[in-house]
Structure 1
Amino acid sequence: MLFKPALITFGHQNKIYETMKKIVLLFLSVIIIYSCGQNSDSNAIAALEEKLEASKDPKDAEALLAAYNEHLEDHPEDIMNARYLYRSASTMWRMNRFGTATEHLKRAISEYYSSDNTPKAAELLSETYDNKLDNHGAATSVRQAMLTAFPDYENMAKIQDKMKADTLDFNGRMVQMSRDMFNPTTGRINYRTANDFILNCELFTMVNPNGEANPGWLHRAAETARSIKNFDKAIELYKKIYNDYPDSDRAPQAMFLHGFTLDNDLASFEEAKVQYDAFLKKYPDNDFADDAQFLLDNLGKSEEELIRSFEKK
């Protein structure tokens, strides 16, 4: 009887060992399968790249682009995606799809910033805006961001040579663009300039994400988007502020304005409620907390209903 507890304990230990062994083997098998899947994709992509290089056939280009996209969907965490997005953009260059090429390059930079291919993607992005889309301002913003973000990049001297000596810094250029955005005579906004302002702020902060002034530029871009009724873009930018720069002074305001845009501009009251609740939970003592609570209590009410509710009080 004295040895029974020890035997039971040993039995339990053995069972636990066998169970853990199965779990470890299962985990390893998943890793191996995942790795094999990635290797298989990489080999297939390499073969398609060689085929296109030899044939120059548009059909082979389409097949390669499809393979890149499939790999991105199946393996979103693979850092190799930065290079695949770059190569995808390069392929689109050959097909004169310059607008789509910029979207792939922006994705490569924003989603896989830690890749050592990011400076190269930023350089190609600037070249695309400069030489193919005739947007020299956007190209300059990318290059100015690169000066700070990648000072040791091998092609930096070449990039600096492409900027005119009398070019204002990013701050000066955006101040000037802000002035050009409004017609002082008519009081109307120039939509093209407004959209350029938004794009330049996005590009500059994307290529140099650690800039101290980034939350402020993104806030100005979001407010500009609201002023031209591009509410989806405004929300996208507000989210970027409080997600990417949660410790900035702009983060609480951006979170509140996200809810306010849903409420006031889009009449998406259920979504606004969720956003106001999230704001109040995270920033109960913020200057906008009382406003958020008031708006939350009166979601969906017309001006007449609000007036009547005040009269009753």
Structure 2
Amino acid sequence: MKNLKFVIAPLAFSLLIACGGGEETAKDGVDPKAAEMVGRISTMEDTLFKSVAFNARSGQELLDVYKAFAKAYPKDENAPEYLFRAAGLCSKAMGDPEQGIKLYDRIIVDYPSWKRLPDTYYLKAFTIDTELKQKGEAQKAYQQVINLYPDHPFAKDARQMMEYLVLTDEELIKKFEAMEQAANAGE
């Protein structure tokens, strides 16, 4: 019975997408199918993130719904947010940082005036750094954050991360130990 819901849920979602997405909108200008998907996403997020153990199948289903929403409703204010969440889900929980970076790039290209664009640039750089371990590319990406948003808090973080890029693991450990000792001495 449990396996049946994993077959029915994606099938029902596919039918929802295939049959809808037209010009139908309510009197208030909100597409009822988009609103229904937003509700579904919220429920899926609650279910996925309330569990201590990550369920990869549910994670993939949520990822698919995030991307389907952005494809079906690219002008909806939730579209870049769902792509952003999808990128984070890919990068960390799903173990697919390359796809996460592609989604960050999609946000950058498709939503250049989105309010969380500085976050997007920074998390792209951070993913390149920490997940892909590509120090040269990470440095370029961090520098882009600094150049585009010099007064944003993430610019400060990007500068700090660039300092860490040149350090070996041993040097980083020593630096953090020294910082911890200094913090403990100040207490």
Q: Structure 1 residues 302, 182: CA separation in 2 closer, same or farther (over 3 Å shift)? A: farther
Match of 2:123 among 257, 267, 290: 257
Contact 1:259-1:275 within 8 A present in 2 as well: yes
Post-superposition shift, 1:235? 0.7
Q: Let me know the Cα RMSD of the aligned residues.
A: 2.8
User: Aligned residues, how many?
Assistant: 164
Post-superposition shift, 1:180? 2.4
1:137: which partner in 2? Answer: 13
Q: Structure 1 residues 292, 141: CA separation in 2 closer, same or farther (over 3 Å shift)? A: farther
Contact 1:183-1:189 within 8 A present in 2 as well: no
The residue identity in structure 1 corresponding to 2:46 is R
Which structure ranks higher in relative contact order (CA pairs < 8 Å, sequence separation ≥ 6)? 2
1:281: which partner in 2? Answer: 147
Structure 2 residues not aligned, in runs of 5+: 1-6, 26-31, 183-187
Structure 1 residues not aligned, in runs of 5+: 1-129, 153-159
Match of 1:151 among 14, 20, 24: 24
TM-score, normalisation: structure 1: 0.47
Question: In the alignment, is residue 240 of structure 1 matched against residue 106 of structure 2?
Answer: yes
Post-superposition shift, 1:182? 4.0
1:200: which partner in 2? Answer: 65
1:222: which partner in 2? Answer: 87
CA distance in structure 2 between the partners assigned to 1:302 and 1:222 by the alignment: 28
The residue identity in structure 2 corresponding to 1:174 is I
Post-superposition shift, 1:303? 4.9
TM-score, normalisation: structure 2: 0.76
Q: Deviations over 1:152-203 (max 9, x none)?
A: 9xxxxxxx9xx9xxxx71111001111222463xx11111111111111111
Tell me the SS of whatever aligns to 2:165.
coil
Which has the larger Rg?
Answer: 1
Tell me the SS of whatever aligns to 1:240.
helix
Identical-residue share of aligned pairs (%): 27
